[in-house]
Structure 1
Amino acid sequence: MSQPTSNGTAPSKIALKLGNLPSKKPLKIIGPRTPSRVTPNQPPWPSYRGYHEYSFAHATMGHRLPTILGKAIDDVVKTLNEQHEEEKIVDLEACIQRMEALMGDLTSKADLRPIVDDGEGDIPLWNKALARYFRGQNFINAPWVFAEAYKYRRLHECFSISKYWQDYDVFFRQKCDTFSRSDKAVFELSMRFHEPFKHREGLSDTEKLEAERLVFHELTQVCLWGNATDLSLLINMSEEDIKKLQSTGGEHLAATEKNILGNHIGRLWEIVRDLRGNTGGRVDFVLDNAGFELYCDCVYADFLIQSGLAKTIHFHGKRFAWFVSDVTRKDWDWLLNMMVYGDLFKNASDAELESLRRLGKRWKQYVAEGKWIYEQHPFWCTGYTFFTLPEEAPDLFLHLSRSDLVLFKGDLNHRKLTYDCHAPASTPFEESIGPMASTAGAPKICSLRTIKSDVVVGLESDEVAENLDKEKPGWKISGEYAVILVSEGRPAEEVFFA
């Protein structure tokens, strides 16, 4: 600290002359860390954190999350004003007070405290991670993926310790409303696929396989671009913007295929094509967004069943409201029942509504027959990335190892697969997902991801990303670009836990 001079004034600052030192040079990222040095707070390459002003993490922690939480508080206030029983009103008011305390912690960069034990199965995972890796860290200096997940877990805590509102979903109204505005894309698909898939008569086996490949190619892209409508990013988006994002027409898909920067769709087809010869024929979807994206996932899964390419589909959702629009059991049940019994689309024709009902009835039949299975595991709602899945959730890893193909949908799942860190864009996908590719028993994996955050891997060269940085600033968060990346895993090997 500078000492005052004899006349009481502070001395002038001395300029430090460093003329003999080497000139400043850009820091080249060296990585990855060796596996033994990787921790949730120190990923293989440098992590994105809220204080990195160049990153989407900075915009998220400083603006998006407070905005999302503010809208969530507004939703609960609306529900509060609809109540008439005093005990429920008082209980919900306490939930609002906890949400406001969370807002204070978020905006004041408070340290990450332990999660209150609310009986959820993820409590040991959360509090072990907080104690072991994140003591003294806050929303801004902790790795973005962990800090963001922590915020949503704290939001669930606001309700899970209440008496009457444990399962309240502050985002449910938004999810329903957005799907209701997706009518054009919804009916474009239902009018095509309400009838069971079947081949034209007279086709040879080779021609049948090619016909399946073409439909698969188109539906893979529908499933991919359905991820573009993420409610956490649609805060100020108009109805026309949403409809443009959700276009599933053939011309639109052909035009956007050039924006799939890492495209392993050929390898993905080879895996799916060979499912028929497997005794199981099981495909798993690790779900992302509810509403239109879930609807696209189901159209895709329906084709896999109808064509005989797969025998069973497992859908993995979240146990509670997560990252605004992630699928919960309530969202799953709502979609299937709304399709059969609902009256959501006021301007639809009778033919359109009937096509939607037929789809919904067939999907509900799949559920009844055990061909479609909805599941939820506590691990999906933790701050851990999937690098730790074999260690922290061995039961889930063993379960996934029995699948012939695991499709990870969306941006958050991609971030967790790749540890959400600053790896070079040319890093091979299988290298970037670490143990999920290299552990004995690791299943074949495909990430279907519309790019909406900083991490990008699996491209042919770093120059592809560097050129886009110059030509289209903001391309990493625009939702205009995507990847379809495949890992072959080690499915033939027996799972072994040390």
Structure 2
Amino acid sequence: MITSADPDSFPHSVLAERHPALIRQVRDAFPYPPDRQQALDALAAETAWSAAGTAAGRIAPLPAGAHDEARWGRWGRPYVGQSWFEVPFLWAESYFYRRLLEAVGHFGPGPWQGVDPFAPFKRAELRGAAVAEELAALDEVPGLPREEQDRAVLGGALWGNRADLGFRISAGGGTDTGAGTGGEGGGGRGAGEDARDGVIVDDADRFWRHLGPAGPASTPSGATALHLVADNAGRELIPDLILLDHLLTTGRAATAVLHVKPYPYFVSDATTADVVDCLRRITEAPGRAGRIGARLWDAMTSGRLAVRDHWFFCAPLPYAAMPDDLRADLAQAAVTVFKGDLNYRRLVGDRHHPATTPFASLTSYAPSPLLALRTLKSDVAVGLDPDVLADLERDGGAWRTGGTHAVVQFRA
């Protein structure tokens, strides 16, 4: 199990550097009253790594009567009272964000109930020049051969996963919401670029063959719906919506379901409100983007594109532990696309797996065929060819955590 105990590890840097920077940014982004500011300061003190090289505080439980207190009480029973840096990294990250929402009063009652503490960052990103450039690049796609159109929209969704506000939080307190398309932590790539650059596992052809030229391949259930489990809002969610439009308009999917978080989770995780914001941004754009936005709007109002949420998407648990109702929902899918690093960690387990461990063996529990689109931003890596792994290790660098490499992994 991956933890943050090693001071030289990537997980340790997230807890010791990224989380304090995020608390400061959230505190500065709103005119929170003194009690909310004090709660944020208390969370910062509890989760800090001290100058003496030790954990400053111990994990405290949610206050009595808090929203979902019982559920988090069960999940946190083995960890409350321990150091934040010694418990499983996935649980520590998830619980940090749950505690952050508690500190700002998101679950109420009170005037701050329902206010997304990350909304200013998400909205700034949508207004940025990078989004305008990426939407304008869609005008190039119709001129491409069909196979290259498929590659372009899938590559956009894949590399859009680099557009992660949490990934771009800096210890200095800045958030890069307008990064260019080519740099580390940037967003999608232009339609003319080779989206396979940096992809260390590429099962895209298997995915397209499974869908077939006009509708999913035969499945035991006869399912024709495509499900997509979203990760981030803004510059990642827009390419996801464009991918869904492409699948619907080319007949690869008769209907589609977009799964989002029921409330804010990690910094830029997508909620229903974010879907609406992104859809409006696409619809208001000139050219082909605006036409795609209009089609998506019609697809949602007609029911061909549904948006759903589920409490489990904000749980610190692997997808192998998904509840029966979510399993039954995903079982209806011809394919379920899982976006992003956090979903990937939950798919295969947030562990130090040997990197050549087969992806299919770790996801055999999933109730339908699945495709993982993930830019590597954490230590987990599976399904790699031994020669590819050897080259990556020989070259050095933070290939597991720097957002410079990606995987497209399909399991029928």
- 2:134 is equivalent to residue 186 of structure 1: yes
Q: What SS does structure 2 have at the residue aligned with 1:485?
A: strand
Q: Against the structure 1 CA distance between its residues 312 and 115, is the aligned structure 2 distance closer, same or farther, given a 3 Å change threshold?
A: farther
- Quote the residue 2:181 is aligned against: 243
Q: Against the structure 1 CA distance between its residues 189 and 421, is the aligned structure 2 distance closer, same or farther, given a 3 Å change threshold?
A: same
Aligned equivalents of 1:135, 1:165: Cα separation in 2: 27
Aligned equivalents of 1:399, 1:368: Cα separation in 2: 21
RMSD of aligned residue pairs (Cα, Å): 2.4
Q: Against the structure 1 CA distance between its residues 219 and 68, is the aligned structure 2 distance closer, same or farther, given a 3 Å change threshold?
A: same
CA contact (8 A) 1:126 1:383 kept: no
- 2:158 is equivalent to residue 224 of structure 1: yes
Structure 1 residues not aligned, in runs of 5+: 1-46, 81-91, 201-209, 342-351, 489-498
Q: Which of 22, 27, 44 is residue 73 of structure 1 equivalent to?
A: 27
Q: What SS does structure 2 have at the residue aligned with 1:283?
A: strand
- Quote the residue 2:398 is aligned against: 474
Report 1:38-437 matches (<5 A).
Answer: 47-77=1-31, 80=32, 92-107=33-48, 108-116=55-63, 120=67, 122-131=68-77, 133-158=78-103, 159=105, 160-181=107-128, 182-192=130-140, 212-236=146-170, 241-244=179-182, 245-246=186-187, 248-252=189-193, 254=194, 256-273=195-212, 275=216, 279-340=222-283, 353-389=286-322, 393-433=323-363, 437=364
Q: Against the structure 1 CA distance between its residues 294 and 304, is the aligned structure 2 distance closer, same or farther, given a 3 Å change threshold?
A: same
- Quote the residue 1:347 is aligned against: none
Structure 2 residues not aligned, in runs of 5+: 49-54
CA contact (8 A) 2:125 2:178 kept: no
Q: Using the TM superposition, give the Cα deviation of residue 118 of structure 1 relative to its aligned residue in structure 2, in angstroms.
A: 5.9
Between structures 1 and 2, the one with greater helix share: 1
- 2:383 is equivalent to residue 445 of structure 1: no
CA contact (8 A) 1:184 1:243 kept: no
Q: Using the TM superposition, give the Cα deviation of residue 379 of structure 1 relative to its aligned residue in structure 2, in angstroms.
A: 0.8
Q: Against the structure 1 CA distance between its residues 172 and 447, is the aligned structure 2 distance closer, same or farther, given a 3 Å change threshold?
A: same
Aligned equivalents of 1:117, 1:465: Cα separation in 2: 48
Deviations 1:30-86 (A, max 9, x none): xxxxxxxxxxxxxxxxx2211123421011011111111111111123xx4xxxxxx
Aligned equivalents of 2:289, 2:148: Cα separation in 1: 23
How many residue pairs were aligned? Answer: 392
Q: Against the structure 1 CA distance between its residues 334 and 268, is the aligned structure 2 distance closer, same or farther, given a 3 Å change threshold?
A: same
Q: Using the TM superposition, give the Cα deviation of residue 466 of structure 1 relative to its aligned residue in structure 2, in angstroms.
A: 4.4
- Return 141-150 or 331-340, whichever deviates more: 331-340
CA contact (8 A) 1:283 1:403 kept: yes
Aligned equivalents of 1:239, 1:447: Cα separation in 2: 25
Q: Using the TM superposition, give the Cα deviation of residue 109 of structure 1 relative to its aligned residue in structure 2, in angstroms.
A: 4.5
Q: Using the TM superposition, give the Cα deviation of residue 238 of structure 1 relative to its aligned residue in structure 2, in angstroms.
A: 5.5
Larger Rg computed on CA atoms:
1
Identity of aligned residues (%): 26
Deviations 1:180-222 (A, max 9, x none): 22234333344346xxx8xx9xxxxxxxxx9544322221111
Q: What SS does structure 2 have at the residue aligned with 1:421?
A: coil
Aligned equivalents of 2:22, 2:331: Cα separation in 1: 36
Task: Name the aligned partner's letter for residue 379 of structure 2.
Answer: D
Q: Against the structure 1 CA distance between its residues 246 and 185, is the aligned structure 2 distance closer, same or farther, given a 3 Å change threshold?
A: farther
Q: Using the TM superposition, give the Cα deviation of residue 101 of structure 1 relative to its aligned residue in structure 2, in angstroms.
A: 1.4
**Normalization by structure 2: what TM-score?**
0.88
Q: Using the TM superposition, give the Cα deviation of residue 126 of structure 1 relative to its aligned residue in structure 2, in angstroms.
A: 1.9
CA contact (8 A) 1:76 1:96 kept: no
Deviations 1:122-175 (A, max 9, x none): 5443211112x3243331101111100000011112211341111111111111
CA contact (8 A) 1:125 1:382 kept: no
Aligned equivalents of 2:409, 2:331: Cα separation in 1: 18
Aligned equivalents of 1:364, 1:267: Cα separation in 2: 30
Q: What SS does structure 2 have at the residue aligned with 1:232?
A: coil
Aligned equivalents of 1:363, 1:304: Cα separation in 2: 11
Q: Using the TM superposition, give the Cα deviation of residue 95 of structure 1 relative to its aligned residue in structure 2, in angstroms.
A: 2.3
**Normalization by structure 1: what TM-score?**
0.73
Task: Name the aligned partner's letter for residue 185 of structure 1.
Answer: E
CA contact (8 A) 2:136 2:287 kept: no
